[in-house]
Structure 1
Amino acid sequence: MSSNLSEYLPLINSKFPSLADISDQDWDQVGIRVVEMEPNYTIKEGQLLEYAFLLLDGTVRMYKLSASGREYTLYRIHSGECCPLMSSSILCEGEYEASACVETNGLVLLIPVDMFRHWTDHYQMFRQFIFKSFANRILIMSNLLDSLNFKSIRGRVSEFLVQLAQQGDESEPLHITHDSMSVELGTAREVISRTLKALEKEGIIQLSRGKITIRDLNALEQYVES
């Protein structure tokens, strides 16, 4: 096993317990290593991957690009997770079906695709982890499709703001731009701005440059189902 892997093995096992029964022989293969991630590094849709990546630290945003060039966020991968679209493309020996962009500094375990397939075939714990990641993301994508098809833009914007507020101090302003929200929700910036202005007019939020302050969280939550 390389010194690089030996150094990070406790972190790898803590983040991915499903790798606990990987043999020393299978760890000691050329190409398996831990590398640092830097923000804005991107893997474009349509590539044939040479490595699987398991995230040890940091955040990666998965997104699709429309024919008109508009981005739409699918989901994010966090520490202790792998991308099911990545797993699918590797196991099916096909092209990567989305784009991935590193959002924060972090660490990633790189596994050559042949070894990734071998581990999936021969280690039950790892195989179950991969299948669970498929199931979890199918549920997330199902909720995303429901939101796109059945919720109004006001409901989607409200849901997004509520989720952001719940991630931090609900009394603190949310630091996000209209452009960023348009990417997250896959709609035009003008639509986002118009919806936010309407919510501000109702006294539910307050807008300032690069910030949104929620003044009435209960009222915002009522729009989530609309």
Structure 2
Amino acid sequence: MTQQELKSIIQKHYSYIFEEALIDEIASVAVTKKFKEGDILIEIGNTIFKMPLLLEGAIKILREAPDQGELFLYFLEKGDTCAMSMACCMGKTKSEIRAVAETDGLVLMLPVEKMEEWLGKYKSWRSFVFDSYTNRMKEMLNAIDTLAFMNMNERLIKHLNEKAKVNQTNIMQITHQEIADELNTSRVVISRLLKVLEDEGKIKLNRNIIELL
């Protein structure tokens, strides 16, 4: 991909946010990376030297507790960046999250030294970074509220609705075990609750396929 082609893609997604000079700089230093559903883009314990800026697709952000499996935190969608990986970049610390591709997609990788430079140089970049932190913090608080105040049945239907939204389809190809892993519970619990939701007319179950009604 040429620099001009990359600039055109960035303009398509960010011309309403970033000024032309910043778009030119992003296009000159960014590296594009295509990914497939299920790819691990950031692993726990990794040192992060580049910040992801999502152009296409969706990514799920997971937290891992020792001996307790994974816990889903939030989705990144087109136009988003991950505030937690951003903080790791800026603080030069190791990642405490795992980023897994929910769908196929395309991401821009931006070098950390440019992130710091642009904070002082471009008002639009400062606003984008601070808005990203704010949005991710709201999603983190929402995840905490979900854990603290919702029962598993409510958590399950909420999670299915979120997956349908980022995948842009009400028909999802996913196993009961995969859902259980994302919600940090057992497959038996998820299978039982899915059957309840089907009996209530909220979903339709087929082999490894769930359709929201």
1-side partners of 2:186 and 2:147: how far apart?
14
Q: Structure 1: 5+ residue runs without aligned partners? A: 218-226
The structure-2 alpha-carbon separation of the partners of 1:10 and 1:204, relative to structure 1 and needing over 3 Å to count, comes to closer
Question: Following the alignment from structure 1 to structure 2, what is the Cα–Cα distance between the partners of residues 23 and 141?
Answer: 29
Q: 2-side partners of 1:210 and 1:97: how far apart?
A: 30
CA pair 88-186 structure 1, distance change in 2 beyond 3 A: same
SS in 1 for 2:131: helix
Equivalent-residue separation in structure 2 for 1:52 and 1:207 (angstroms): 38
Q: Which runs of 5+ in 2 are unaligned?
A: none
- Please tell me the residue identity of whatever aligns with 2:150: K
Q: 1:73 and 1:91 mapped to 2: Cα distance?
A: 24
Aligned twin of 1:56: 55
Pair 1:88–1:197, CA change in 2 (3 A) = same
Q: 2:191 aligned with 1:193, yes or no? A: yes
Q: In structure 2, do the counterparts of structure 1 residues 35 and 65 end up closer, same or farther at CA, with 3 Å as the change threshold?
A: same
Residue 207 of structure 1 is matched in structure 2 by 205
Alignment CA distance shift 1:205-1:15 (3 Å): closer
SS of 1:79's partner is coil
User: By how many angstroms is 1:195 displaced?
Assistant: 2.0
Answer whether contact 2:180 2:190 (CA < 8 A) is retained. Answer: yes
Partners of 1:199 and 1:205 within 8 A in 2 = yes
**Distance in 2, Cα, partners of 1:51 & 1:213:** 37
- Rounded Cα–Cα distance in structure 1 between residues aligned with 2:129 and 2:143: 21
Query: Aligned ranges for residues 212-223 of structure 1 at < 5 Å?
Result: 212-213=210-211
CA apart distance, 1:183: 2.6
TM-score by length of 1: 0.78
Q: Distance in 2 between matches of 1:24 and 1:154?
A: 44
Cα distance in 1, alignment partners of residues 23 and 194 from structure 2: 55
The 3 A distance-change label for structure 1 pair 104 and 197 is: closer
Q: Which residue of 2 aligns with 1:220?
A: none
1:78-132: per-residue Cα shift (whole Å, max 9, x none)? Answer: 2211111111112222222211122333222222111111112321101100110
Q: Is the 8 A contact 1:5 1:33 kept in 2?
A: no
Residue 79 of structure 1 is matched in structure 2 by: 78
- Give the distance between the partners of 2:62 and 2:93, measured in 1 at CA: 18
Q: Shift of the alpha carbon at 1:206?
A: 4.6
Partner of 1:45: 44
Matched with 2:2 is: 4
1:118-164 residue CA offsets vs partner (Å, 9 max, x unmatched)? 11232110110011011111111111111101111122123334555
Could you tell me the percent identity over the aligned residues? 30
- Structure 1 residue 196: Cα displacement: 2.3
- Aligned position for 1:34: 32
Specify the SS of the correspondent of 2:73: strand
TM-score by length of 2: 0.82
Contact 1:54–1:82, Cα closer than 8 Å, also in 2: yes
Distance 2:157 2:23 in 1: 50
Amino acid of the structure 2 residue aligned with 1:194: R
Contact kept in structure 1, 2:7 and 2:23, CA below 8 Å: no
Equivalent residue number for residue 11 of structure 2: 13
Q: Which residue of 1 aligns with 2:155?
A: 156
Contact preservation (8 Å) 1:63, 1:71: yes
Q: Secondary structure at the match of 1:91?
A: helix
Report the Cα distance in structure 1 between the residues aligned to 2:49 and 2:164, rounded to whole angstroms.
38
